[in-house]
Amino acid sequence: MSASNQLVTRHSSFVTAFSRPTAREWTRHVGLFVLTFMTATFSGVLLAVNATDIPEPALADPAGWVDYFYYLPAYYVLSVGLLAKYALAHPELLVQGVTFAGALLSILLAHEAGHYIACRRYHVAATLPFFLPAPPLFLAGTFGAFIKIKSPIPTRRALFDIGVAGPLAGFAVIIPIAVAAVLTMQPTTLPLPAATDAGSLIYFNEQPLFRFLVWLFNVRVENSAPNPLFFAAWIGLLVTSLNLLPVGQLDGGHAVFAVCGPRAHALVGRATFVLMAASAVFGWTHHGTPSGFLYALLLLILLRVRHPQAEDEFLPLGRARLAIAALTLAVFLLSFELFPLTIA
């Protein structure tokens, strides 16, 4: 590595080295971002379209279970093609898809940029954000984004700042998107399924931020159709709340570790897992969704991963960071919905 492409900075009693991203790294990360934008646009189109308007793929029914190995991939590929063809014939759907992708990726980019900039401030080696595209028609078109930290965290202050910078930056972008979503909601024109059709309705339960904005602007959202901005902000709030759970190496786990120390971090993490596991059972029986079990499994895995120590454990956080910790807790409370989905 050339000397011009490497910075060495002395922090306290130790030396940390970090390198600037190369052109090859920029190409890789920008390429992943563009690919994720495309797959998220597909998902945005799918959220906006009336599924009954898309024709079924013309495939013969499988004769036996072996045929499903060919039938399912072919069905998926043809479905993606039919949706793309329909979207190209209806540009207004593409506009909604691009709106969704732009809003969602703006939130994710702000979140990861917050972490990245905080790492640079403390001379902690970290990669550019990795954006993870999901297959078209799957989830929100993305598995999220992350940065990889490649050097030790120097102090408790650095650990705290790096941990909370992402959620706070992402939430700052979520607020205007959520406001625009609430103010532009329109009554739905689609007929509701019959009440006897079990599992025919999926309710996106509003997080506290949305409920506050509806009250603040005195907007009636009953029987309103969620728009692309709503879905983007809703997913952004879900991601923010999950990241702020005080478990393991999640952002909330970093904050608790920095503020309260390793013992409290371990106790709070276990208590959070127990509460989430119990709520998963209630969510399955009363809200018809098994997603809580997936979250509980993820938390269990994170609990088994040891949280790294900061190199300087004794530098106090100070009152300003304790105030920021309280602000971060408020962000979590505004973002968290125990049962985000209800299937009826």
Read off φ and ψ for residue 277, nearest 5 degrees.
-65, -40
On whether residue 102 sits in a domain, the answer given is yes
Q: What is the pLDDT of residues 284-302, one digit of tens each?
A: 887 777 778 888 888 889 8
- Which stretches within the chain are classed as H helix? 23-48, 68-89, 91-121, 156-183, 208-217, 228-243, 251-260, 262-286, 291-303, 319-335
Neighbour count for residue 62 (Cβ, 10 Å): 14
- What residues form DSSP beta bridges with 341? 204
For range 170-181, the mean pLDDT? 98
Q: What is the pLDDT of residues 16-64, one digit of tens each?
A: 556 788 999 999 999 999 999 999 999 999 888 877 778 888 887 877 7
Q: What is the pLDDT of residue 188?
A: 67
Q: What is the pLDDT of residues 91-150, one digit of tens each?
A: 999 999 999 999 999 999 999 999 999 999 999 999 999 999 998 877 799 999 999 999
On whether residue 223 sits in a domain, the answer given is no
Q: What is the mean pLDDT of the chain?
A: 86
Neighbour count for residue 134 (Cβ, 10 Å): 17
Q: What is the pLDDT of residue 12?
A: 44
Taking the model in full, what pTM does it have? 0.87
On whether residue 166 sits in a domain, the answer given is no
Q: What is the DSSP string of 254-287?
A: HHHHHHH-HHHHHHHHHHHHHHHHHHHHHHHHHS
Q: What is the pLDDT of residue 17?
A: 52
174 against 226, higher pLDDT: 174
On whether residue 93 sits in a domain, the answer given is yes
On whether residue 267 sits in a domain, the answer given is no
Q: What is the pLDDT of residue 190?
A: 52
On whether residue 245 sits in a domain, the answer given is no
Q: What is the pLDDT of residues 188-215, one digit of tens each?
A: 655 444 444 444 577 888 999 999 999 9
258 CB-side CA count, 13 A: 29
**What residues make up the domain containing 83?**
1-55+71-151
Q: What is the pLDDT of residue 267?
A: 95
On whether residue 275 sits in a domain, the answer given is no
Q: What is the pLDDT of residue 193?
A: 44
State how far the Cα of 160 lies from the Cα of 62, in Å rounded to an integer: 55
Is 171 in a helix, a strand, or coil? helix
**Which residues neighbour 155 within 8 Å (Cβ) at sequence distance 6 or greater?**
11, 12, 122, 310, 311, 312, 315
From first CA to last CA, the distance across the chain in angstroms is: 58
**Which residues neighbour 293 within 8 Å (Cβ) at sequence distance 6 or greater?**
280, 284
Residues 62 and 71 sit within 8 Å (Cβ to Cβ): yes
On whether residue 340 sits in a domain, the answer given is no
Q: What is the pLDDT of residue 15?
A: 46
The percent of residues above 70 in pLDDT, for the chain, comes to 91
What Å distances lie between residue 12 and 147, 317, 319, CA to CA? 25, 16, 21
Number of domains in the chain: 1
**Which residues neighbour 232 within 8 Å (Cβ) at sequence distance 6 or greater?**
99, 100, 103, 104, 107, 177, 181
